[in-house]
Amino acid sequence: MKETVVLYPLPAMGHLVPMVELAKLFVHHDFSVAVVLMHTPVKHPSVDPFVARVSSANPSISFHELPPTASLPDTTPVPLFLDLVLSNNPQLLDFLAAHCRTSDVRAVVLDFFCTGVLAITAELRLPSYFFFASSAAILAAFLYIPTLYATADIDLKALGDSPLHFPGLPPVPASDMPRNMIHRDEHYFRRMIRVLECLPNADGILVNSFESLEAEAVRVLRDGTCIPGRRMPPVYCIGPLIADGSRDVGREKVEKAESKGPAAATTTSSVPLAMASSSSSLGAVSSFNLQTSSKTPQASASYLIPLIPNPFRPKTKPSKLAAAPCRRHIDASFFPAKKPPTDSRPTKVQELSVYEINEGDRSSPAYLRLSQKEVNCLGDLVPFSNKLYSGNLEKRFGITAGICVLIQHVPERGGDRYEAIYSFYFGDYGHISVQGVYLTYEESYLAVTGGSGVFEGAYGQVKLQQIVFPFKLFYTFYLKGIADLPKDLLGTPVPPSPVVEPTPAAKAAEPHAAVKNYTN
């Protein structure tokens, strides 16, 4: 059975075209590729002809359109994309489950807007990767934006041309940021922050660049400097990917350019996909705009990647290196199909369910109001410690302990957004550390950053379900990098409900209903 990679782009040409170029690269390395298309209320007229052309020319690339879903609200473009992702999740789950029964699915590669799919891939134990079709420098800057806003109460609209500073990157004038990323009070901005915060929760990120072009930006990504305090997944440089042949792109402006002659066609058709998709979806302006070289049509379209003005690179004299060869290979460490992985840690996903319950006997939560105001304000700290029980509520595991920092009030949802860092303690079995966004009004996904004992070397993510905030919470861990969990920690979980309670024996931490040396 041929190994298969599933690709899941947004249903927009600027996202579909780069993903198809990635599909061709996988086919070049003897993978079969299934491109899954979301169902949309309105389809771009170029999609079907483009899919037909690609299918005809590439038999190893198959396209699968998901069945219709519920109607979607009339919102601005990017929130609509995010709504599309969530509304298509049930259909995607059914497709992946069925496809895994008939194909050797090695991984799922997601458009970087599709962070809402991580719950699906985790449930199916499928490795998940994000594909970022723009440059490494832009990815590093975007990943740092949540930290930038969390640590400084700034309004980019008022900064004008004042420089913004990103780790390891040249300063960027605030006015050169994508226009929709500077209005922090808008619904769009808040949702995009959540998308950017979730990107590191994947098994890896594919970026359409190569290390010799953006050495410093790639270093910032791989070191995790752009997400301080969090685990950065592996970053794979798989570029440059180029749309070889303007007709495949299916854009009117390409056809118009071709009608004006070879020189005009070159200016449009040779635009590398490194900047053609995600920046446009983010409302990119100013120096994010593309300019291409004046090479011959054949050279530009199929072999060379022009240099691109980039706001994250210093304005220096043009390099003598006007182009780099289009390499037909994936980073050597990506998807080792034949050779064993260099990381000896287990990659199997293990599920662990626990309840966190505040029984009112630990003076938790406490409120450190550094603002010295009577109500919680941005930047105030909330240390907490609660009791930890097994998912079946029959055993006392220990406690949780950590701290939350209030980042944002969300009055329309009746809750708040925190940045949290805390640990789960399991007595002699050790502990698990997590970090990430903590929402009081809906499910959150946090990154597993490590552990001790049987959890040493653990990574993955955990889904947090608020049952009765802040008194009852249910967690589902999706753990990798560790040996099989002890049966003492497992069991069929009780479905989350406001009325659930631990058994009397577990509450009393009787010897048969508590782990050895449970943390208290």
List, in order, residues 6 or more apart from 390 with CB less than 8 Å away: 353, 354, 355, 396, 397, 489, 491, 506
d(C-alpha 402, C-alpha 72), whole Å? 38
Contact 271, 257 (CB under 8 A): no
Q: Classify domain 1-341 by CATH architecture.
A: 3-Layer(aba) Sandwich (3.40)
Give the model's pLDDT for residue 51: 93
pLDDT at 437: 80
Active site annotation includes 244: no
pLDDT for res 168: 85
Strand partners, 265: none
CATH topology classification for 350-513: AOC barrel-like (2.40.480)
Candidates 15, 99, 203, 431; catalytic one: 15
Reported in sequence order, the residue ranges of 112-259 that DSSP labels E, i.e. its strands, are 128-132, 163-164, 172-173, 204-207, 235-237
How much is the pLDDT for 86?
A: 81
Q: Are 435 and 461 in contact (CB under 8 A)?
A: no
Evaluate whether 370 touches 494 at the Cβ level (below 8 Å).
no
Q: Would you state the structure tokens that stand for residue 231, as one six-digit string?
A: 């685990």
- Beta strand 350-357 with 381-390 is antiparallel
Answer whether 242's CB lies under 8 Å from 326's CB: yes
- Candidate list 99, 111, 248, 380, residue with the active-site label: 111
Residue 242 has what DSSP assignment? Answer: B
pLDDT at 278: 43
**pLDDT recorded at residue 132:** 95
Write down the pLDDT at residue 241. Answer: 86
The segments of the chain whose pLDDT lies below 50 read 246-248, 250-329, 332, 336-342
pLDDT of residue 254: 38
The pLDDT of residue 298: 32
Nearest alpha-carbon partner for 108 in 277, 326, 349: 349
* pLDDT reported for residue 344: 57
Average per-residue pLDDT in the chain? 79
The question of whether 15 is a catalytic residue gets the answer yes
* Domain regions of the chain by residue span: 1-341, 350-513
Strand partners, 130: 110, 205
CA dihedral angle for residue 186, residue 191, residue 194, residue 195, rounded to 10 degrees: -130
Give the tens place of pLDDT for each residue, 351-364.
999 999 999 998 89
Write down the pLDDT at residue 399: 97
How many C-beta atoms lie closer than 10 Å to residue 338's C-beta? 6
User: Nearest to residue 426, comparing CAs of 383, 476, 388?
Assistant: 388
